[in-house]
Amino acid sequence: MSTSGQQQFRYTQTPSKVLHLRNLPWDCSDEELVELCKPFGKIVNTKCNVGANRNQAFVEFADLNQAINMVSYYASSSEPAQVRGKTVYIQYSNRNEIVNNKSPGDVPGNVLLVTIEGVEAGDVSIDVIHLVFSAFGFVQKIATFEKAAGFQALIQFSDVGTASAAREALDGRSIPKYLLPEHVNHCHLRISYSAHTDLNIKFQSHRSRDYTNPYLPVNPTAMEGVLQPVVGPDGKKKEPESNVLFASLENMQYAVTVDVLNTVFSAFGTVQKIAIFEKNGQTQALIQYPDVTIAAAAKDALEGHCIYDGGYCKLHLSYSRHTDLNVQAYSDKSRDYTVPESSLLAMQQASAVHATPPVWHNPQSGPVQSSAGYATTGTVPGQAPPAWNPNLQGGGSTFPSAPTGYPGHSYAPPAPAYATAVHPPGSSQQTNHISTGSRLLV
């Protein structure tokens, strides 16, 4: 609307002692409104930060003529009304008075309703929210959820005074950039008081937390770390840990079997379950340990290392969102080492009844790298994998039988002090030292 059009609009409006002001700073205060309007008369009421962008306000004068004087003055003045250097547009309101019905958001309480603008639900973790608000006092409980208004959180303090201090300091402010993901440019906090006085938190999870009850059960979905990033002591995001590792392998010159993975990963602790699968043409695997500590040690040591010399079958590791794999106890692509050996043996014998009796191959037909009393081997595509005789290992060492389809052979998982690089079939090279470079370093 042009300037002349705006003036004509002002003059054709029905005068009211309530004025409507637009284009204000989004955090304009009542004091700034009163300062702008008081030269024209007594201000009896104000209402700030209304509208979708919170940049509008209403001002009510004690007398109609005072409101008319203000509109007339700025309509004819060469200097527009301004607040903090921003031009403010003034017109009559279609209301005759400002009714300030105190909403629950205006009544002080110990629980704050926080709307975090400019972010998705997964961008700000509950740990970041706790870090920001605990600067003002002990945060008792937090619950996060999504509404039409955006990503919101209820934050419970022990008393009204602490909650009020946090609201006064943080309302309209932004969460520090270093606590946010890189793709989030800014996020504003809109804070009001909640009608709640005591939040009912049933589980500790990535969406709710009760800091007053450490014995509250943990919701299983809280372990789904991909939904919420975890914040370290420095306030930066870190990958949520899990007892299950997700492994992807590149440069697959040789096949990687369940036994190969078990030998490599059991160097750090007991491997409970393994599952191998193909996705988008890439070999991937899940390796389950009994606890997060062992998984973390294995991940740190094996990330980027190669199972075979020459840079073949390179491991890339991350934490999985799974905590307990559901796999077949014994198959070509999976293994459950928590199943008792007697059960495995029974399955092997049952399958052997209908199977052709196997033939032991000459162990010399496919040299196998032996070190620390155990060995693994990959399979060269197009060739049958060489089999070994547990009683014919070099150096007089014995090799516990890996799970096979042969009846009468039970499985005992190896427990090496360390794992070494594995040489592919056809290689006669022997190494008795911890390998570096392209060899696996544990």
How many structural domains comprise the chain?
3
In a domain, 236, yes or no: no
In a shared domain, residues 300 and 440: yes
Q: The CATH number of the domain where 75 resides is what?
A: 3.30.70.330
pLDDT digit string (tens) for 251-274?
888 888 999 999 999 999 999 999
What's the rounded mean pLDDT across residues 316-334? Answer: 85
Q: How far is CA 360 from the centre of its chain?
A: 50
**Residue 36 confidence (pLDDT):** 92
- Of 99, 94, 73, residue with least CA distance to 14: 94
Residue 97 lies in a domain: no
pLDDT tens-place string over residues 129-179: 999 999 999 999 999 988 877 889 999 999 999 999 999 989 888 888 888
Residue 165: which residues within 8 A CB-CB, separation 6 or more?
A: 136, 137
**214-218, 325-329, 349-353, 412-416: which has the minimum mean pLDDT?**
412-416
Please tell me whether residues 63 and 202 are part of one structural domain.
Answer: no
- Model's pTM, two decimal places? 0.34
pLDDT of residue 199: 92
302 φ, ψ to 5°? -100, -10
According to the model, what pLDDT value does residue 345 have? 57
**Dist CA 368 CA 424 (whole Å):** 8
- Domain boundary among the residues 231, 261, 293 is at 231
Structural domain contains residue 98 = no
Same structural domain for residues 401 and 292? yes
Question: Based on the domain organization, do 424 and 323 belong to the same domain?
Answer: yes
| Residue 337 domain-assigned (yes or no) | yes
Judgement on whether residues 249 and 366 belong to the same structural domain of the protein: yes
CA angle 54, 41, 26 (to 5 degrees): 10
Whether 400 maps to a domain, the answer reads: yes
- Whether residue 197 is found in the same domain as residue 291: no
State the Cα torsion 408-413-417-420 to the nearest 10°. Answer: 80
Q: Are both 305 and 325 inside the same structural domain?
A: yes
Strand partners, 276: 285
Hey, which residues does 29 pair with through a beta bridge?
none
What is the CB neighbour count within 10 angstroms for residue 417? 8
- Give me the residue label for tokens 């509404």: 147
For residue 240, the 8-state DSSP code is P
pLDDT at 156: 96
Long-range contacts of 205-209 (CB under 8 A, 24+ apart): 206/125, 206/126, 207/126, 207/143, 207/144, 207/145, 208/126, 208/141, 208/142, 208/143, 208/144, 209/126, 209/130, 209/141, 209/142
Per-residue pLDDT tens digits for 350-359: 555 555 554 5
Q: Is residue 99 situated within a structural domain?
A: no
18 and 154 both lie in a single domain: no
Q: Is residue 206 part of a domain?
A: yes
Q: Do 254 and 204 share a structural domain?
A: no
436 Cβ contact partners less than 8 Å away, ≥ 6 residues apart: none
The CA R_g of the chain, rounded to the nearest whole Å, is 35
297 and 321 share one domain: yes
At residue 359's C-alpha, the angle toward residues 358 and 363, to 5°, is 130
What does the alpha-carbon distance between residue 126 and residue 131 come to, in Å, rounded to a whole number? Answer: 9
Query: Range of 74's domain?
Result: 3-92
The answer to whether residue 376 scores a pLDDT higher than 90 is no
More confident residue, 53 or 48: 48
Instruction: Looking at the structure, tell me whether residues 26 and 108 fall in a common domain.
Output: no
What is the tens place of the pLDDT at every residue in 393-413? 444 444 444 444 444 444 444
Does any domain span residue 416? yes
